[in-house]
Amino acid sequence: MDSYSYKITGGKPLKGHINISGSKNAVLGILAASMMIDGTCTLENVPDISDVHVMVKICESIGAKIETELTPEGSVTLHIDPRGIDTYEATGPSVSKIRASYYLLGALLGRGGKASLRMPGGCDFGQRPIDLHLKAFRQMGAKGADFRNINGGIISLHADPLRGASIFLDIVSVGATINIMLAASKAQGKTTIVNAAKEPHIVDVANFLNSMGAKIKGAGTDTIKITGVDKLPGNFTYSIIPDQIEAGTYMIAAAVTNGDVTIHNIIPTHMDPLSSKMREMGYSIDEGDDYLRVYRDPEEPVWGTNVKTAPYPGFPTDLQPQTVVLLCLSEGQSKMDEDVWENRYQYIPELQRMGANISIFDHIALINGIDHFSSAQVKATDLRAGAALVCAALAADGTSYIDEARRIDRGYEKIVDKLRSLGADIEIAGSLNLYEDKEA
Ligand code: EPZ
């Protein structure tokens, strides 16, 4: 079923326990990195989400062998053997389905000094340029695609040899940081990335590369140093870190339904930017070694606050839509300042259909608190916007439909099962997409 919807009857507090899955934004970079191994590897705690399915398909399209094992706990383990890779071209249609396919540029440049890739896709919130990636590869000796003109949507690069370089990122970029680490792992000499991104998934990809035999220091700080090596022997098992954004989404779902939920299999410090904001608003968050419990005193008000998105350890832009939903149900006026993406409020009209009182001024959203959301038929404009609408529907009285739900399944493993286990009334409705009827 291509365009299915989620049918959610809200108004029920979420209660109980759930486990968080592996990080989407770590595993996608790690899958690309594994294409450079001169051996095999096993990846554990892989989230069963459609972006991973697409990335596996792209890796198989260039000749890698990837066997998927479903563990008794229901998570996915991948057994990867890239030794059969027989091309450096990834130009099939799958490549433009996701943004992370561009990690194959760095991986294939590192593997064999050449790469040819169709332009990547991904959520549509503005330009999503890749100039920082291409400028860095050019500094490392790669010739071909110039960031000023990518011919016909195919990016072709070759480097003979690929050399280490000192690279300053004038914008903190997760993708560029990961892509440079990939290429630099096998470049001749040393590479330094200054003004590097520091997200948890950057550290996870670096740890994976070092497990492969790479020499990377400083991941998680502003400056990362990589010494290129000739071989990446591999032959190891690696477990993906928990997904910071999935965890934050369930924290917010618990909060907006006035529930009491314990979220397991997380790294609590990764949640600090959200936890501190939610405590400031009046929610209680108890922290354990690998879990958080989210609840509140119903007698106490929930106060609005101001949030500004920024690279980690700032407030994650990927929790911006979900947090706007949380702020809608708080007292007074709140402000969201989206400082990473230039157009990440496309979901606001959908929330306004549910009763949200929000005004947008460029990258600022002014949010006036409301008593409750009203159920409605809405559309997931992108992955995290869809997750935000799920939170709003869970909080609303009555039955809502969220169309284009496949966008949510790009990044949330078994979201229907997980929410049901917390008492939510949610089911998959066929391709009930009244939007099409409306346009008819
Ligand atoms: C990654 O995207 C994530 N995607 C995004 O998560 C996330 O929103 C983003 O990082 C920021 O944290 C994946 O990891 C697959 P960037 P990425 O390069 O790498 C500008 C989700 O919901 N920029 O850090 O594409 C860019 O326009 C997704 O899981 C350039 O100008 O983001 C943006 O303003 C959505 N030139 C800023 O940098 C470039 O060459 C940050 O982008 C690259 C980026």
Domain end (from 165, 197, 227) = 227
Question: Do 401 and 286 belong together in one domain?
Answer: yes
Rounded Cα gap, residues 385 and 110, in angstroms:
35
Catalytic residues: 123
CB 291 within 8 A of CB 262: yes
pLDDT in tens, the chain (440 residues): 468 999 999 999 999 999 999 999 999 999 999 999 999 999 999 999 999 999 999 999 999 999 999 988 778 999 999 999 999 999 888 888 888 999 999 999 999 999 999 888 777 777 778 999 999 999 999 998 765 556 668 899 999 899 999 999 999 999 999 999 999 999 999 999 999 999 999 999 999 999 999 999 999 999 999 999 999 998 999 999 999 999 999 999 999 999 999 999 999 999 999 999 999 999 999 999 999 999 999 999 999 999 999 999 999 999 999 999 999 999 999 999 999 999 999 999 999 999 999 999 999 999 999 999 999 999 999 999 999 999 999 999 999 999 999 999 999 999 999 999 999 999 999 865 555 544 33
Question: Do 159 and 214 belong together in one domain?
Answer: yes
Give the pLDDT of residue 118: 87
Residue closest by Cα to atom 31 of ligand 1: 129
223-227, strands of its sheet edge to edge: 166-168, 190-194, 223-227, 215-217
Question: Do 173 and 204 belong together in one domain?
Answer: yes
Tell which one of 95, 170, 171 to mutate to probe ligand 1, the residue whose CB is within 8 A of the most ligand atoms.
171
Number of domains into which the chain is organized:
2
Question: Do 95 and 163 belong together in one domain?
Answer: yes
Give the pLDDT of residue 74: 76
Answer whether residue 141 is part of any domain. yes
Rounded Cα gap, residues 100 and 57, in angstroms:
13
Answer whether residue 237 is part of any domain. no
Q: Is 123 in the pocket of ligand 1 (CB under 6 A)?
A: yes
Answer whether residue 77 is part of any domain. yes
Rounded Cα gap, residues 335 and 99, in angstroms:
29
The DSSP annotation for 283-346 comes to -EEEE-SSEEEEE--TTS--B--EEEB-STTSB-GGGHHHHHHHHHTSBSEEEEE--S-SS--T
Answer whether residue 236 is part of any domain. no
CB 104 within 8 A of CB 133: no
Q: Is 129 in the pocket of ligand 1 (CB under 6 A)?
A: yes
Give the pLDDT of residue 438: 42
CB 52 within 8 A of CB 45: no
Question: Do 248 and 337 belong together in one domain?
Answer: yes
> How much distance in Å is there from the Cα of 174 to the middle of ligand 1?
6
Q: Is 340 in the pocket of ligand 1 (CB under 6 A)?
A: yes
> How much distance in Å is there from the Cα of 351 to the middle of ligand 1?
24
Answer whether residue 437 is part of any domain. no
Give the Å distances, CA to CA, from 89 to 10, 129, 132, 156, 407: 47, 21, 21, 9, 27
Q: Is 99 in the pocket of ligand 1 (CB under 6 A)?
A: yes
Q: Is 84 in the pocket of ligand 1 (CB under 6 A)?
A: no
Nearest to 193 by CA among 171, 161, 160: 171
Q: Is 130 in the pocket of ligand 1 (CB under 6 A)?
A: yes
Report cis status (omega within 30 of 0) of the bond before 313: yes
- 440 burial level (CB within 10 Å; 0-12, 13-18, 19+): exposed
Question: Do 134 and 275 belong together in one domain?
Answer: no
Question: Do 196 and 257 belong together in one domain?
Answer: no
Question: Do 267 and 184 belong together in one domain?
Answer: no
Phi, psi of 10 (to 5 degrees): -90, -165
Question: Do 342 and 401 belong together in one domain?
Answer: yes
Answer whether residue 232 is part of any domain. no
Tokens of 171: 């914008």
Length of the chain: 440
Supply the range of the domain harboring residue 400.
4-21+243-430
Q: Which atom, in ligand 1's list, is nearest to the CA of 175?
A: 19
Nearest to 281 by CA among 296, 266, 270: 296
Q: Which atom, in ligand 1's list, is nearest to the CA of 122?
A: 35
Domain end (from 184, 203, 227) = 227
Question: Do 12 and 43 belong together in one domain?
Answer: no
CB 94 within 8 A of CB 57: yes
CATH of the domain at 295: 3.65.10.10
Question: Do 249 and 155 belong together in one domain?
Answer: no
Question: Do 328 and 215 belong together in one domain?
Answer: no
In this prediction the pTM is 0.96
Rounded Cα gap, residues 122 and 99, in angstroms:
4
> How much distance in Å is there from the Cα of 340 to the middle of ligand 1?
8
Q: Is 171 in the pocket of ligand 1 (CB under 6 A)?
A: yes
Tell which one of 182, 205, 340 to mutate to probe ligand 1, the residue whose CB is within 8 A of the most ligand atoms.
340
